[in-house]
Structure 1
Amino acid sequence: MSSRWLDSPARYGLVTRLLHWGMAALFAWQFLGMGVKLALGRHALTAFLVGTHKPVGTLLMLLILARGVWGLSQWRRRPPHPPTWVGRAALAGHAALYALMAWVPTVALLREYGSGKGFAPWGVPLFPATGVKQAALMAPANLTHGVLAWTLLALVVGHVLMVALHHLLWRDTTLARMAGRL
């Protein structure tokens, strides 16, 4: 595989970048839809955006799994976090982002399964309709999906602000590693 596809200590490769920015766009779509729902309530735009929430969330779950596998395969090649308190904070922040990116759609899919309604995003059957609700499978998402999704958004905003701090104030190469030329 060409070196531009792989991560290196100096920058992230094309696969990592495509996964990162593709997921960023899909998360933005998800949060936009939920924000419009909160702002407008019942509305045609809300119906359209919220109507895509579950299929897009399923796609995000697939990309999260792919990103996790890819990230583990590139672990030793990636740009390192510096061994400072800022580097440790960045590592902790990234770990929290990944944990929430995995948890939020996982419990949503568990809720779909437990609903007994069946689930077929884009017409691809993932769960058959059983007609039987399983409250124990639905409870984790009912308790955590929304609040942890908004927590994820807060972490994403923090992530973006830290990138801005790195770029504008500290003038280092952090942004270029994920967004710069290959």
Structure 2
Amino acid sequence: MQSSITNTATRYGWPTIILHWLIGAIFIGQFVLGFVMVRISSQRTSFELIQLHKSFGFLLLGLIILRIAWRLGNVVPTLPPSVGALERRAAPLAHFSLYVFQIALPLSGWALVSVSTLEIPTMPFNLFLMPDLPLAESDAAESFWSATHWYLAYAGIALVALHIAAALRHHLLLRDTVLRRIITPSSGGE
């Protein structure tokens, strides 16, 4: 059967699957890159990694906005019967929280580079100059946004770890279709 582009009542379509895994990989990769870039001894390498981190941050922001728009225009597959009432109420809140963190984190990074007194231009993937947000530059603002970005990163990665643990629980313990439906696309006949 031919795979579907749109979601069905039981599975996600290709765009949802690709965006899910791409955003997840970038989000986790950004955490690792952010962790490494501030701990590396070479200033040149650190600077290059920071520029790469900013580039992927803007890419993540664009992809998550696209993901949310796609989700709003598509059906969300229903949860299998094995999912209890508490989980049925918690799942939408967990997904909403993931979206909030995936938007807030790049925005806080953008705010951080916008208020930095170093005034280093941001050029995502060296393709174009990204304008700063209209925020006042100051050391105090930079400290605030740096701390905000840091706390959001750790809270976001904890939320992602919880999301992964829940998916593995469904797959390995409950043996239901929750994980499979975001791996294997819907078919045109579903």
> What is the aligned length?
177
Distance in structure 1 (CA, Å) of the matches to 2:145 and 2:137? 14
Secondary structure of residue in 2 paired with 1:127: coil
Contact 2:27 2:102 survives alignment (8 Å):
no
Sort the Cα spacing of 1:181 and 1:14 in 2 relative to 1 into closer, same or farther, 3 A.
closer
Matching residue of 1:155 = 159
Q: 1:126 aligns with which of 125, 130, 150?
A: 130
Matching residue of 1:41 = 40
Once the two structures are aligned, what percentage of the paired residues are identical?
30
* 2:58 partner amino acid: T
Matching residue of 1:142 = 146
What do residues 105-143 of structure 1 show as CA deviations (whole Å, max 9, x unaligned)?
A: 112112323335432212311216x9x725786566234
Distance in structure 2 (CA, Å) of the matches to 1:13 and 1:62? 20
> How big is the shift at 1:26?
1.0
Q: TM-score, normalised by structure 1?
A: 0.83
> How big is the shift at 1:89?
1.4
Matching residue of 1:25 = 25
- Structure 2: any 5+ residue segments left out of the alignment? none
Runs of 4+ in 1 over 6 A off after TM superposition: none
- Structure 1: any 5+ residue segments left out of the alignment? none
The structure where helix makes up a greater share of residues is 1
Matched, 1:66 2:70: no
Contact 1:36 1:46 survives alignment (8 Å):
no
* 2:5 partner amino acid: W
Distance in structure 1 (CA, Å) of the matches to 2:33 and 2:88? 33
Return 140-149 or 8-17, whichever deviates more: 140-149
* 1:15 partner amino acid: P
Secondary structure of residue in 2 paired with 1:152: helix
Matching residue of 1:111 = 112
Sort the Cα spacing of 1:67 and 1:13 in 2 relative to 1 into closer, same or farther, 3 A.
same
Contact 1:37 1:50 survives alignment (8 Å):
yes
> How big is the shift at 1:3?
6.7
Distance in structure 2 (CA, Å) of the matches to 1:71 and 1:134? 38
> How big is the shift at 1:85?
0.6
Q: Aligned runs of 1:51-62 on 2, under 5 Å?
A: 51-62=51-62
Distance in structure 1 (CA, Å) of the matches to 2:13 and 2:168? 21
* 2:155 partner amino acid: T
Q: Which has the higher contact order (CA 8 A, sep 6+)?
A: 2
Matched, 1:176 2:180: yes
Contact 1:9 1:80 survives alignment (8 Å):
yes
